[in-house]
């Protein structure tokens, strides 16, 4: 069976006054119905990779690839109109901060309803039912009340759960989560990720989790890509991160303080070793 998402030699570049600069330099990977983590530091090109898959990179940014296909559909050949029927309905994306992704003048319920009816015509009653079930699925205890709230009336963790509900209600096959929890408190982070994990597993969806946090990705994914300045430096199963070979991955792991820290000094990355910049 062909993989759900095929990416071959994906490149993303932006013009600057010193010529075009590639932020993603030819990465390739396949994704089945599994959970893939993309880890990297700022500027590694991890977010651009996620956006390129949804064709969300605006001009003057340029995306090229030998192959970028979702369920056999060549994404680079799709028109903007065709992409709109893919985005949301078949591939969804959860962004970092719910504050900026939710419309402040619409209630939570209305926004979820909109996400649903743009892709599917349904009678009003069924829409309402689906919304309430979805809110329950993201573990919101009092879905009726929450559906009537405005985004500023919900907390960060609740907002992110609403976002997830919105993204998952049309029943997409692939969810791209770009730093879905970095704006949240530690204890809420775990809740939100557990919800994503649960829904993705039960619905048999694919997940791309983009994060700077190695621990988090290793916990919630099956496979990990480590990116550094636009290239994939390491690809491994999540459980084998401990035996990662690339010096960059090892450096990242070592640079993190631990809860039972006894080192007097943290090892720092010697950037000159790999970084081109």
Partner 1 sequence: MGGHMSAIRLSNLDISYGDTKVVHGVNLDIAEGESFALVGESGSGKSTILRAIAGLAPDWTGGISVLGQARSHGVDRAVARQCQMVFQDPYGSLHPRKTIDATLSEPLAIHGVGNRGKRVEAMLKAVGLDQRFRFRFPHQLSGGQRQRVAIARALMLEPKVLLLDEPTSALDVSVQAEILNLLKRLRREQGLTFLLVTHNLPVVSFLCDRLAVMRHGRVVEVADVDLLRSGQLVEPYSRELLAATEGRAGVIA
Query: Are the CB atoms for 231 and 22 separated by under 8 Å?
Result: no
Rounded to whole angstroms, the Cα distance separating 125 from 251 reads 54
Q: Residue 58 or 263: which CB sits closer to partner 1?
A: 263
Q: How far apart are the first and last CA of the chain?
A: 40
Tokens standing for residue 15: 């013009």
Query: Contacting partner 1 (CB under 8 A), which of 263, 272, 273, 276?
Result: 263
Q: Quick check: 149 binds partner 1 (CB under 8 A)?
A: no
Rounded to whole angstroms, the Cα distance separating 111 from 103 reads 8
From the list 54-62, 96-104, 201-209, 261-269, the region that binds partner 1 by CB under 8 A is 261-269
Minimum distance, C-beta of residue 21 to partner 1, in the bound complex (Å): 16
Q: What is the DSSP letter of 256?
A: S
Q: Quick check: 256 binds partner 1 (CB under 8 A)?
A: yes
Q: Quick check: 41 binds partner 1 (CB under 8 A)?
A: yes
Strands (E), 42-81: 62-64, 67-70, 73-74
Q: Quick check: 80 binds partner 1 (CB under 8 A)?
A: no
Q: Quick check: 185 binds partner 1 (CB under 8 A)?
A: yes
If we measure between CA atoms, which residue out of 165, 146, 163, 84 comes closest to residue 118? 84
Minimum distance, C-beta of residue 252 to partner 1, in the bound complex (Å): 6
Query: Contacting partner 1 (CB under 8 A), which of 56, 89, 132, 253?
Result: 253
Rounded to whole angstroms, the Cα distance separating 23 from 103 reads 30
Minimum distance, C-beta of residue 185 to partner 1, in the bound complex (Å): 4
Interface ranges with partner 1 (CB under 8 A): 41-42, 156, 185-190, 212-216, 218-219, 238-239, 241-242, 251-253, 255-269
């Amino acid at each position: 069976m062909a993989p759900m998402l095929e990416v071959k030699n994906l490149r993303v570049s932006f013009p600057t006054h010193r010529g075009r600069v590639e932020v993603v330099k030819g990465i390739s990977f396949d994704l089945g119905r599994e959970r893939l983590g993309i880890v990297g530091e700022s500027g590694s090109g991890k977010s651009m990779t996620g956006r390129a898959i949804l064709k969300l990179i605006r001009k003057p940014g340029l995306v090229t690839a030998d192959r970028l296909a979702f369920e056999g559909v060549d994404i680079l050949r799709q028109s903007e109109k065709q992409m709109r029927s893919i985005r949301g309905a078949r591939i969804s994306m959860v962004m970092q901060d719910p504050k900026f992704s939710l419309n402040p003048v619409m209630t939570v319920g209305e926004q979820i309803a909109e996400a649903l009816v743009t892709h599917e015509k349904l009678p009003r009653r069924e829409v309402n039912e689906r919304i309430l079930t979805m809110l329950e699925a993201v573990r919101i205890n009092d879905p009726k009340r929450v559906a009537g709230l405005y985004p500023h009336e919900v907390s960060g963790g609740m907002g992110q759960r609403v976002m997830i509900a919105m993204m998952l209600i049309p029943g997409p096959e692939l969810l791209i989560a770009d730093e879905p929890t970095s704006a949240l408190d530690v204890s809420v982070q775990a809740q939100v990720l557990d919800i994503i994990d649960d829904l993705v597993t039960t619905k048999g969806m694919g997940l791309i989790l983009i994060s700077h946090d190695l621990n988090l990705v290793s916990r919630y994914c099956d496979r990990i890509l480590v990116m550094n300045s636009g290239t994939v430096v390491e690809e491994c199963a999540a459980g084998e991160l401990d035996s990662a070979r690339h010096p960059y991955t090892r450096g990242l792991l070592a640079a993190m303080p631990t809860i039972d820290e006894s080192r007097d000094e943290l090892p720092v990355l010697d950037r000159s070793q790999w970084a081109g910049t």
